[in-house]
Every structure is written in structure tokens, then in C-alpha cells.
A and B are shown apart, each in its own frame.
Chain A
């Protein structure tokens, strides 16, 4: 009797546990990270006797947590990859929208600007055309400024998110360390039975962590878990976590770097939201800013150079139209010398949208491209009269540098934000050629002279009057002196300009070259300004400004498109991994309902066994009670 009672009560106990586990499963159907649990039933060894082993009921061996470590590990990796791509694609699409969106695309204002230059060429004396050129230039500059501001604000946002993400990683790391402690304690206390719900919590924290940074884990004997970054830096070791921190870079550029224990480990981190933030900044945002500034430098430098070769309505040589751009050069905080570097631009065609490292070695200055790592040949000494020249840059070093000093050069990264129009008086627009040629009325040769071309706007004698008189069809004098050979088709170059004749001059033919008049109706320089639009100016003369701008837009578009495609692909992979985890660990309510019925029936049957035991006992009492 006692056996039946104890067998019955063991079943009651077991099925009550099974029912409560099922209820636990049902109640956690929507809990993130919950793994379904199952009561594992076992048969205790029966009591042996001469007539065989008699069963002694049922016992609960453990409450198992249904989970697969391999699936979970894969899920961590997939979640990291997805979180990285999600952040990446988000920013890439914002950069793309900024650069190619209908209202922010720079192509239309660029076209409008050169359209205004062309209108000026049509009607160089019209104050309205002059004003319109300045106005459209201001619009263009403002839109470049806006683009830079938008990209800069994305950069600032990325910085802020890097801080928040690092904080999150540290918070999760310390929570993981605490959980490690509790799990080790709990499992030690209860005969290594799995602390299911704590383990779920830890898995969920790992999941959260992997969405922020790519991690690897190593299980320890005591049930605690060590967590490392993909680069091998320990984040959690047992009950101890090592926090990450952020710090400015070694050039004081405002760029944030991730550090651990004071050492910069940015380049060793990857995956997760943090990896996505760092990667998208390096691969999309920084190049976009550099290329944007590159186009801005191309516009400002090329337009300024041409504008300086023209004559404004006051009869003066045109100066700069746009404020001359200046790049950023930052000295490393560790430099022991006092040198500072000023960054100007030389040959725009040689300029690249790149950042550079400038180092003083024992053998002299060395310029290294940051994107390719290749060394750029430098000429010059670095003095203001003979700056270091290379890659379209002109570097002037002031102060004294010590061997080992380093500088970070960002020639174009900030230029789009600097773009501005420096002239405001419409009459200062240099539309006319600075020189005009007059053929003497009595000339008998068939030669006609074209407007002189300026070769060197800086020449001091550029605007001096010059008389050219042919002493024969093949020789000429300048200002009544000398005898120079003339060959048809070869321009005559004097004082920084050159004059082309077509046809054959005759002896006695005279050409007077003089400074252009104020309020001139000439459009030669306006034409040249408008012609910049179709001229190869960047990239060694292979790209027009519009093509460079289009390439920038297409690059950003390609980044956005590719990262969105990769994100969608990764999303499918992640869904697959989640489904696999759900297949093993997820709660199915129908299954639990069936279990409820099953366990309820077993419980009821066990109760019936108790009742039978009671009846037997009563029967026995009645039989013996008389």
C-alpha cells in the first residue's frame, strides 16, 4: 500500500512539475530569448526482491532547456553581420539621398551656374547677367555648404552613436559578468543542474551584445562564459568585465577612436552596430566628403584661375571669384617640433580626393596617401617661396620640425563647407579679355589677329601696350626694336600673353596690343568661364566638373545599393538562423496545449492511483477492524 501511495505521489509530484513547466512555457511564449523547457522524467531503480524488481514510480531527473549551442553561436555571428549592414546601409542610403536627391543634388545648381556664365558670355555688359552669375554661384556654394553640413552632422551623429554603443557594450559586459557569477554560484549550489532562466538571460545579453559588436565566446568549466571581441580583446572574463572607452585621435581632429586600457583598438573591431558605424564612416562618409570637397576645389580653383585672366567692368584684372580654398593640416599631438603646415593647392588636375600622412624622416619629408599607402613624390623645400609640391598640393612648413614629426593632411575633406563667393559687386565679374588687338587700317597683308590669350595672369607687364610691326612676312619688331622670326601658325608670345594671327602679314603691317577698356563689351573671358563646364579639369584632365560630381553621386549610390542588397541578403540569412533557433527553442502553443492535456491526464491518473491506494487501505481496515 505504502508503495502504491509513494508511486502515486511521485507521479503527482512529477506531473505537477511537468504542468508547471508547461505553464512556464506558455507564459513565456513572447519573452525574447526564452528557450522552451521540458521536464525530463526518469524511472528510479526498482526495489529488488526474489520475485523481481518492483518499480518505485517516476522521478524528475532535470528540467531541460531545449537549445543548441551551435545554432546560438551562428545566430550571434549572423546578428552581428546584420546589425553592421543595417547601420551601414542606413547611413549609406542617407548619404546617397543627400547627394542624389532631387532637391539636394549638386548637378542642377552646377549646370545653372555655368548656364549663368554662358548668359554672361551672350551679354557681357548686362548688369542682370552679372548679378545672376554671382547669385547662381552663391546658390551653388550654399548647396555645397549644405551638403557638407549634412555629411558633417551625420559624422557627429556617428560619433554620438559610437559613444552610446560603447556604453551599451560596457553595460552588457558588466551584466554578463554578474550573470556569470550568479550562474556559477547557482549551478554549483544545485548539483550542476542548469540554471535555465539565467542561461536564457545570458544568451539574450550575448545576442544584444553581438548586435553591437562582433564577439566570440569560450565556455568555462564552472558554467561561466568568457567573451572576446573579434580582434581578441577580452570583454568579459568570468565575473570580471573590461570596459571599452572612446578618445580623440592623435591629431586632435575631433575623430573618435575606441580604446581599451588606453590603447586604440578601433581598427581591430568589426561587426555589429559599432563595426557598421566605423566602417560606413571610413568607407562611405569620409570618401563622400573628400570627393565633394574635391569637386568644390575643382570649381573654385579653375574658375578663379580663369577669372583672374579677365578684365572686370572697371577695367581691372579680375581677382578671385570664389574664396580660395585651403585644406586642413593637423600636427600630431606627439610632435616634438613646433612646425605647422599650411596647405594650399597647385595643379588641380593632379589633386586627388585623398588624405595624406606627412612625416619628417631623416631623409626629408615624406608624403603618403592614406587610401593607397603609396608614397607621393615631393619637390621643393617647404618654404613659402618654394613650397613642397606633390599630388596637386602646396605645403608650406613654418616653425621647426623634428625628425619623426607627423602631420595629417586633409586637403579636401572640409572644402565643400568653405566654398563661398568672394565678390559681391556685379561689376567686378571679369567677363572681358584684358587685352585687345588693333590692326592698323593701312595693313596690306591678309593676316587677321585673334584676341590675345593670357598665359600668365601674374605677369607684371601683362597690360603694357605693345606694338608689333612686321618688317617682312616672316620677321617682326616689338615696340620698334629687335627682329623676331615669325612663322605662320606660331603665336607671338610677349609679356605673359600670346597673339595668334591667321593669314599672311605683309611688311609694314602693324598690330597694337593694349589693355582692354573699362565697361568693355567683350565676352572672351566670360566664354572661357562658361567653357570650364565642358573642359576636363579634374583627375588629370580626364573628368569635367560635372563628370566628377556625377561620379561622386554614382559612388554613393552604388554604396547604398550594394549595402542594401547585402543587408537584405543578410536579413534572409538571419531569419533562417532565427527560424532554426525557434525550431529548437521556440514555444509552440498548440504543442503546449497538447502537453497540458497529456500531463493533466497523467496527473488525474496518478490521483486515481492515490484513490485506489486509499480504497485498498480502507478495505484492509474494514477487513481487520471487526
Chain B
């Protein structure tokens, strides 16, 4: 085969060009620590990397959601913990008021403190989240949700609580609405409430009231009245449904209700059993404050007082456990958010490793490739110079 002069020239030049293109690419890779610059470098890997990028972005969003929800749940937990403390203090004060040696003045002072605790509870219900929004207002979080009417709490928020996703199919509820926290209590033991009639003259008092058989309890209203050593129970239609003899301290059972009274009831004394009604925690605290102030001069008043205190303490206990349950629920959600954060972190790590494998440069490989390409370019240059330096004309003299 013949070789033409211009072909030799073009071939040498093309070889150098090729080496330089490869070299420029390696240089760019080393300078940027990236294997892929555009999709054309490796379309499938590039698409996979972009998919992982999107996945990582999504995981980052869940992470940030978990952190945000964590913060808000901690705010709620603080508030609920404080609520439990307030109720505990109310309980201590009520029991303190029940001890002997309390004068009307000291009881009045106790009542003042319980009123103050009610105010504290109200402030708790209106606590904000540090960003000008109220914690316990549902979606109507722009305005303070709770107010005190003088006898009951008025809730102006709603029941719409936010949830945020912390995984592709998991989300966590951010809070509880004010009515679920502060309003959703029931009077009495949650099934029924017992009240001593205002005209009772005996010294009997309620010591325990519970449902002993939920299947029998029908949610009706009943009246328990006493004769001499006997009792009878009438229903709302004034029909006697049960009657019998009575001795103080023995449990009375009817329609699934079990009442234990102590002390001697007077003839005609009555106790009303009625189904529990919704009651808010502020009204409960207020009721106890006003109870503490009530005079306790004779046995009848003391009997009334003790019956109300028994009911009030039962309600308080229910409120305390309600708050504790809410707090436990918050704790579970916190654990879920933290668990999700840990899990997301692990997923992120895996995705990043996969991404790095696709996109990041293997320095050792690239550096040795650079050496190889430099050597090849030098060889191409030297070959070109040597070949071009040869000409028969040089020898024609």
C-alpha cells in the first residue's frame, strides 16, 4: 500500500487529537470528582443516579418532617406534663382541705389556690407553639382557642389536627385538639355520677361508686332513697326497680351499679344516680374550688361534702389518667418519629452509597488512566516529529 505525505500528517495529527480528547475528559473528571457529566456519558447510570437523587430528596423531606413533628410533639408533651402536675396539685389541695383542723379561712385560701390552678390550666390550653400559633386549637390556630365562661370552658378551635408524612406510607399526627385534651372528660366515674340530694339530713356519705357489671348498666337515671334500715331504687319513671334492707357500709347493687355508703342515712335521704355528662377539666377544677369553700358545719353538710369530694376526686383521677394517656400517646408518636428518623438515616446512607458508586470517580483508576494517556500523547507527539522529520529531499544535494 502506498502512503501519501498528507495522510501521514493527518494520521499523526488525528492520533494526537484523540489522545488530547481523552486527556481532557480525564482531567475534567479528576478536577470535579465526577464520572458522569451529562446523560450521554452513561444514560442508564445517569437515570439511575437521578432516580436516587429524587429518592434522597424525598428521604430528606421525611427526615425534616420527622424533626419538625418531633419539636411540636415535645411542646405538647411539656404542656400535658404540666397539666398532670396541675391536676396533682389540685388533688393535694382538695385532700388537704379534707383534713381535720381546717378553718373556713384556710379552706378559702386553698380554694383561692385551686382557682389560680384553674387559671393556669386555662393558660395551658391557650399555650402557643412559639410561632404565634396555638398548640391546642386544631386548624383554627390563629386565635386563642379556650376561654372561661365562669362555669365552663368554651372551645373555639376545631378538631382538625395536622399529620405529616414521615415515610412513604407512614404519617404521624402532630398534636391533639383542645376539645380532645381539655373538654373530652365525663362527670362521675365516666359511666354515671352520684349526687346527694340537697335536702338530705342524715350523715351518710358516698365512699365508692362503680359499675360492677357493664352488661347490666343501661345508662338510665335512678333515685336511691332510704327508709328505716331499708332502701329502694326508683327509675326515671318513678317505678321501684329494687328494694331491700340496708346496713351502712354494705354495697348496694342495682342495674350494674354498685354504691358503697358509710354513715347513717336519715329517713327520706336520697341519692340521684344519673348517666355521666361531658365535663371539661376547667369546670372540674372550678367545681372542686367551690366545694372546698362550702361550709361543713353539721353532719348532713359533711355528708354532702364528702359525697361531692368522692365524686370530684374520682373525676380528677380520671382527668389525670386522661392526661397521662394523652402524654403516653404523644410519647408513642415521638418514638415513631424518632424511629422513622433513624430508619430514614439508614436509607439515606444506602442511597448515598449507591449514588456514590454510580457517580463518583474512582481516583486510583483515574490517576493511573491519566498517566497512561499522558504517556500515549507523548508517544504520539514524538512519533509525529520523527516521522515528519524524514524526507528524501534532505539527502538530495
- State the A residues within 8 Å of B (CB): 29-30, 92-93, 96-97, 99-102, 105, 107-108, 111, 114-115, 118-119, 121-126, 432-433, 436-439, 441-442, 451, 516-517, 519-524, 527, 530-531, 533-534, 546-547, 550-551, 553-558, 560-561, 564, 575, 578-579, 582-591, 593-594, 596-597
Chain B residues contacting A588 (CB-CB under 8 Å) are 2-5
Would you give the 0/1 interface string for B114-152, flagging 1 where the beta carbon is closer than 8 Å to chain A?
Answer: 000000000000000001010001111110000000000
Contact B133 A583 (CB under 8 A): no
Counting chain A CB atoms within 10 Å of each CB, the highest count among B46, B171, B396 belongs to B46
18 A–B contacts, CB within 8 A, in A order:
A96-B40, A105-B50, A115-B61, A122-B65, A516-B139, A520-B141, A521-B139, A527-B171, A530-B165, A534-B58, A547-B51, A554-B47, A556-B39, A560-B39, A575-B14, A590-B5, A591-B2, A593-B392
Query: Which of the candidate stretches B155-163, B201-209, B345-353 sits at the interface with the other chain?
Result: B155-163
Alpha-carbon gap, A119 to B62, bound state (A): 10
- CB nearest to B171 among chain A residues: A527
Tell me if B215 counts as interface (CB < 8 A to partner A): no
Contact B392 A589 (CB under 8 A): yes
**Among candidates A107, A441, A564, residue contacting B179 with C-beta atoms closer than 8 Å:** A441
Contact A522 B160 (CB under 8 A): yes
Alpha-carbon gap, A371 to B226, bound state (A): 95
Contact A582 B40 (CB under 8 A): no
- CB nearest to A121 among chain B residues: B164
Tell me if B93 counts as interface (CB < 8 A to partner A): no
Question: With contacts A100-B39, A101-B38 known, is A521 near B141, CB below 8 A?
Answer: yes
Contact A125 B50 (CB under 8 A): no
Given contact pairs A29-B5, A119-B64, A583-B7, enumerate 18 new A-B contacts (beta carbons under 8 Å). A93-B38, A107-B54, A118-B65, A121-B164, A122-B65, A126-B131, A436-B138, A441-B179, A441-B278, A442-B278, A524-B160, A530-B165, A546-B50, A557-B38, A557-B43, A561-B42, A586-B4, A597-B396
- State the B residues within 8 Å of A (CB): 1-7, 10, 14, 37-44, 46-47, 50-51, 53-54, 57-58, 60-61, 64-65, 68-69, 131, 133, 137-142, 158-160, 162-165, 168, 171, 179, 183-184, 278, 391-393, 396
Chain B residues contacting A575 (CB-CB under 8 Å) are 14
Min CB distance, A314 to chain B, in Å? 12
Alpha-carbon gap, A597 to B397, bound state (A): 11
Min CB distance, B276 to chain A, in Å? 10
Min CB distance, A336 to chain B, in Å? 46
Contact B2 A584 (CB under 8 A): yes
**Among candidates A100, A441, A522, A591, residue contacting B139 with C-beta atoms closer than 8 Å:** A522
- CB nearest to A593 among chain B residues: B392
Alpha-carbon gap, A179 to B137, bound state (A): 92
- CB nearest to B177 among chain A residues: A438
Chain B residues contacting A105 (CB-CB under 8 Å) are 50
Question: With contacts A96-B40, A441-B184, A597-B396 known, is A29 near B6, CB below 8 A?
Answer: yes
Counting chain B CB atoms within 10 Å of each CB, the highest count among A30, A534, A554, A564 belongs to A554
Alpha-carbon gap, A531 to B164, bound state (A): 11
Contact A561 B183 (CB under 8 A): no
Contact A550 B164 (CB under 8 A): no
Alpha-carbon gap, A118 to B65, bound state (A): 8
Min CB distance, A562 to chain B, in Å? 9
- CB nearest to A442 among chain B residues: B278
Chain B residues contacting A551 (CB-CB under 8 Å) are 47
**Among candidates B6, B7, B64, B160, residue contacting A118 with C-beta atoms closer than 8 Å:** B64
**Among candidates B2, B39, B393, residue contacting A553 with C-beta atoms closer than 8 Å:** B39
Min CB distance, A11 to chain B, in Å? 22
Contact B38 A100 (CB under 8 A): yes
Contact B4 A527 (CB under 8 A): no
**Among candidates A436, A519, A554, residue contacting B142 with C-beta atoms closer than 8 Å:** A519
**Among candidates A439, A558, A597, residue contacting B43 with C-beta atoms closer than 8 Å:** A558
Contact B3 A589 (CB under 8 A): no
Contact B158 A533 (CB under 8 A): no
Contact B50 A582 (CB under 8 A): no
Chain A residues contacting B41 (CB-CB under 8 Å) are 557, 561
Chain B residues contacting A582 (CB-CB under 8 Å) are 2-4, 6-7
Contact B57 A93 (CB under 8 A): no
Chain A residues contacting B42 (CB-CB under 8 Å) are 557, 561
Contact B159 A437 (CB under 8 A): yes
Contact A517 B139 (CB under 8 A): yes
Contact A560 B38 (CB under 8 A): yes
Min CB distance, B149 to chain A, in Å? 15
- CB nearest to A590 among chain B residues: B392
Contact B44 A554 (CB under 8 A): yes
Chain A residues contacting B141 (CB-CB under 8 Å) are 125, 520-521
- CB nearest to A115 among chain B residues: B61
- CB nearest to B165 among chain A residues: A527
Contact B158 A122 (CB under 8 A): no
Alpha-carbon gap, A431 to B171, bound state (A): 17
Chain B residues contacting A118 (CB-CB under 8 Å) are 61, 64-65
Min CB distance, A496 to chain B, in Å? 19
Contact A436 B159 (CB under 8 A): yes
Min CB distance, B2 to chain A, in Å? 5
Min CB distance, B325 to chain A, in Å? 15
**Among candidates B51, B138, B165, residue contacting A521 with C-beta atoms closer than 8 Å:** B138
Chain B residues contacting A517 (CB-CB under 8 Å) are 139-140, 142, 158
Question: With contacts A123-B131, A530-B61 known, is A523 near B162, CB below 8 A?
Answer: yes
Contact A523 B164 (CB under 8 A): yes
**Among candidates A29, A107, A564, residue contacting B40 with C-beta atoms closer than 8 Å:** A564
